[in-house]
Amino acid sequence: MCDSSSNAGHGGYPPAAEAPRFPLIGEPAPAFHAVTTQGEIHFPRDFEGRWVILFSHPADFTPVCTTEFMTFARLQPQFEALNCQLVGLSIDSNYSHIAWLRTIKEKIKYKGMEGVEVTFPVIADLKMEVARKYGMIQPSTDDTHAVRAVFIIDPEAKIRSVLYYPISTGRNFPELLRMLVALQTADKFGVATPADWQPGDDVIVPPPGSCGTAQERVAGKEQGLKCLDWFLCLKEMPKKDLNVPPMWK
């Protein structure tokens, strides 16, 4: 007779498959070597000193992904102005990627865009090696296609932001640019950005570290601050002082 205490899960059923773990904010971005539409890449070595947006899409020749790739390609100069490299991924072959990108350039017209050439690298990941490192395979949705993920990675190869979109929903590209500017602003000036912040809006200064500083802020003794209370103070941050993409200048 089988031992009921063997490998079966609760109630005698097999244990559920462990969901793939994705790297968390603040953790090192997993390293990888991959073949892409722009040749082989070694991450993070090849991108030292640059920001990277690594994003996945479910499959080539899919409608939502096609509109996204055209939009990424159109906005590529805006990301490059922020010292950011775009890198795409799907679980398809390099030949499939090339055929799809040729189709986009030669046949697809969308929102005034046509003849769009995608020049950023797109990773061929048939063995799902990169996708699994980044938790892009989510079996409850699909165990053979990547979800619509976005990882913003800083020049130190640390994960700074993680966004996931369902397969049915295309990404919001102004938000990706806004997020990148907000992160760079926070790093450069040691501030935080409030709800719905846009470049040129006031920013939040760090909370005071002592009772004395808190009292000074409430009393208005610190120049240039607008304090709503001791823990919530803002200051002006003109757009001219920020690194913003050309389309926002």
Residue 152 within a domain: yes
100 shares its domain with 163 = yes
Residues 161 and 114 in one domain: yes
Examine the domain organization and report whether 42 and 99 are in the same domain: yes
**152 and 104: one domain?**
yes
Query: Could you identify the residue written with the tokens 């499939």?
Result: 96
Residues 56 and 142 in one domain: yes
Residues 240 and 151 in one domain: no
The residues with which 152 forms a beta bridge, in sequence order, are 53, 161
Residue 179 lies in a domain: no
Query: Could you give the angle at which helices 173-189 and 63-80 cross, rounded to 10 degrees?
Result: 30
Same domain, 194 and 227: yes
Classify residue 43 as exposed, middle or buried by CB count within 10 Å of its CB (0-12, 13-18, 19+): buried
Per the structure, the complete domain to which residue 156 belongs is given by 21-171
The pLDDT value given to residue 190:
97
Instruction: Assign residue 213 the CATH number of its domain.
Output: 3.30.1020.10
Q: Which of 2, 65, 84, 227 is catalytic?
A: 65
Cα separation, 227 vs 234, whole angstroms: 6
- Asked if residue 63 and residue 162 are part of one domain, the reply reads yes
Pull the structure tokens for residue 199. Answer: 């470049």
User: Is 148 found in the same domain as 203?
Assistant: no
171, 205, 227 - which closes a domain: 171
Is 227 part of the annotated catalytic residue set?
Answer: no
- Number of domains forming the structure of the chain: 2
Cis peptide bond N-terminal to 44, omega within 30: yes
Tens-binned pLDDT, residue by residue, of the chain (249 aa)? 344 443 444 444 444 445 557 899 999 999 999 999 999 999 999 999 999 999 999 999 999 999 999 999 999 999 999 999 999 999 899 999 999 999 999 999 999 999 999 999 999 999 989 999 998 887 566 555 778 999 999 999 999 999 999 888 999 999 999 999 999 999 999 999 999 999 999 999 998 878 888 788 877 777 889 999 989 999 999 999 999 999 998
Residue 130 counted as domain residue:
yes
